[in-house]
Structure 1
């Protein structure tokens, strides 16, 4: 593995570079809120060891540019291998988690033992800590943000599905990690799962905000894209289901898409009226829905659907065409964002048994990226579901990262 500079030759003061970073506007996702990005490290606290992760772990307290255009408090985990770094410093894997909650700030990696915001605790074995351990064992430093609006310091709502917020959470984490730890390399890649897989797809457009650092590539595992198409597919599958239980499960998944998008849009635009895209039954769940971690939040919608059955008043048929929602999806869903492109190397891994992010919709998205010139490697894993993809794709992910950091 080769590196472009030596940490020992870089003055410590340089690590505290650019509390106000110059922004760029490279794609539609960056246009609305691009501008100076005030990122400042505030303090660092030690974190307890995580079983299976052989790393020194610290929690970085810092600021980042929020969706409202102002600095907001944020927290990011920094995990560094034990022992001395390689020449050039530890390369950085900036890792982004999936949907741990629609809006409860305690459902964050730094606040849970498995680094997954409660997914494993609540019944979805995420393997997030295992994956982070694999990166550490490969001699990478891992930067893992709680995300804007999540974690112990959060004071603003979680802007769920905001592509620029997800990207800037990673960028701010990487910049402040280097401010706190001079033994890090200036080369970094991003890895994300599910909504984190969606989020890392937005980093390339904003990567220059991490001034002086070299962004080398993206790994997206089951990225959560094509939202309107997913909702439509779940609805159609529910209508065609042969059993009531299967029909209710698919209806719940359809409503879950809209509830998440309404939550994200409301956080970014408080004037948005949820009633403009949904009926009273789904609207009545939203306050409780937003206060829970993901597994319980799914359960709230599932119980509401079960109680009403086919009479459930949920998403309007044209919900995604409501003007504010249409603009929100066009700005944040790479599958429909006008002009969305990727020019740096990218790996997308997807399971064909994933019940949440469907391979039948992921493959057309990957095909579109390739047709638009993306240097994309796309791999589908037989029998992999939404979480088992992490272990099944691990060797390919590590090989991809090795190749990018060796360039």
Structure 2
């Protein structure tokens, strides 16, 4: 075992169990000596779990005190281990490499967590906000403890699924150790935040709803529904989610957990799950044998699982939202920002006349100076 790696029985969050070079596919262009780390974190129902992350270093000598860290929380990539960011790279490399490259050019190292169950044992609890936040915080713990060239000061930046993860990280960073052990958490940037998804699920997760082939026109919606169903049946085995699904529904959730990665945030680079949904004319209304909200305590559990918090933030948050976004409910994200303001939270909202994917790089004009101010404090 290499020096500094965790003993087999040490599951302390942030303990590194292995390091390895990144694949070419997962290497940010322009970065140097990138690494894939596997570390312990907190998973489903608070159980110890392993997660992984890519660590990207800028070229040149680090500044005094080390490179400040951007913790990148990525958008949906799929559910299979092969879809992990630190293995497969981004679904949209042109977009994401340009985005992360801009951050690196500002003099930041990047730690990109995969989230529990992506590239590591076990299921990926899709949109489980607290578990995602644990993965992000513990990736920074692991990376900064392993690489002396990294500073302890860090911010979270996330898009789509990762926008939600960035929000949960901002809310729970203090609780999960993001400001301890030499770490100094400064705040978050979140674009395309999936807000109030938990309010829509009880309305649509029932037999016969939307009896049209959504996969033909909105494959992203259908894919997200299937990913959510997968996450719920992994996170709540006591619900027996399969018993609320038809054989057709169980088949498609199983397919969502298969080896095809997501291609729903834009033009797919490869043949992926979004293409399967589109070509198969998948009908969401045929997934269910009975409504999911017949599960006792369903609404409250779902809110705790994926409901983006409206209060409790201690560091500044910038929310960027595309007004032409059809992947997440733009109105819901705007409502979240307004409720946060009403609750006296340190939130800034910026909007863009763009879609879900286009907002990512357009938001840099606002997010780069915002993050610069966070690190200057």
Superposition TM-score, scaled by structure 2 size:
0.83
Shift of 1:203: 1.3
Relative to 1, partners in 2 of residues 1:232 and 1:321: Cα closer, same or farther, differing over 3 Å? Answer: closer
Q: Deviations over 1:132-159 (max 9, x none)?
A: 11111100111011211112xx111111
Identify which of 20, 23, 29 aligns with 1:52: 29
Shift of 1:173: 0.8
Identify which of 349, 353, 358 aligns with 1:388: 358
- Counterpart for residue 61 of structure 2: 84
- Counterpart for residue 13 of structure 2: 38
Does residue 249 (structure 1) correspond to residue 217 (structure 2)? The answer is yes
- Mapped to 1, the partners of 2:52 and 2:282 lie a distance apart of 39
- Counterpart for residue 375 of structure 2: 405
- Counterpart for residue 124 of structure 2: 158
CA contact (8 A) 2:221 2:327 kept: no
Aligned length: 357
- Counterpart for residue 266 of structure 2: none
- Counterpart for residue 82 of structure 2: 106
- Mapped to 1, the partners of 2:294 and 2:274 lie a distance apart of 24
Q: What secondary structure, in the 3-state scheme, does the structure 2 residue paired with 1:39 have?
A: coil
Relative to 1, partners in 2 of residues 1:290 and 1:351: Cα closer, same or farther, differing over 3 Å? Answer: same
- Counterpart for residue 6 of structure 1: none
Q: What secondary structure, in the 3-state scheme, does the structure 1 residue paired with 2:107 have?
A: coil
- Counterpart for residue 267 of structure 2: none
Superposition TM-score, scaled by structure 1 size:
0.77
Structure 2: segments with no counterpart, 5+ residues: 264-271
Does residue 297 (structure 1) correspond to residue 297 (structure 2)? The answer is no
- Counterpart for residue 108 of structure 2: 140
- Mapped to 2, the partners of 1:317 and 1:324 lie a distance apart of 16
Structure 1: segments with no counterpart, 5+ residues: 1-12, 22-35
Does residue 71 (structure 1) correspond to residue 48 (structure 2)? The answer is yes
- Counterpart for residue 250 of structure 2: 283
- Mapped to 1, the partners of 2:202 and 2:323 lie a distance apart of 19
Q: Deviations over 1:37-95 (max 9, x none)?
A: 53311232222564633333111122222224333232211111111111222111101
- Counterpart for residue 344 of structure 2: 373
CA contact (8 A) 1:96 1:192 kept: yes
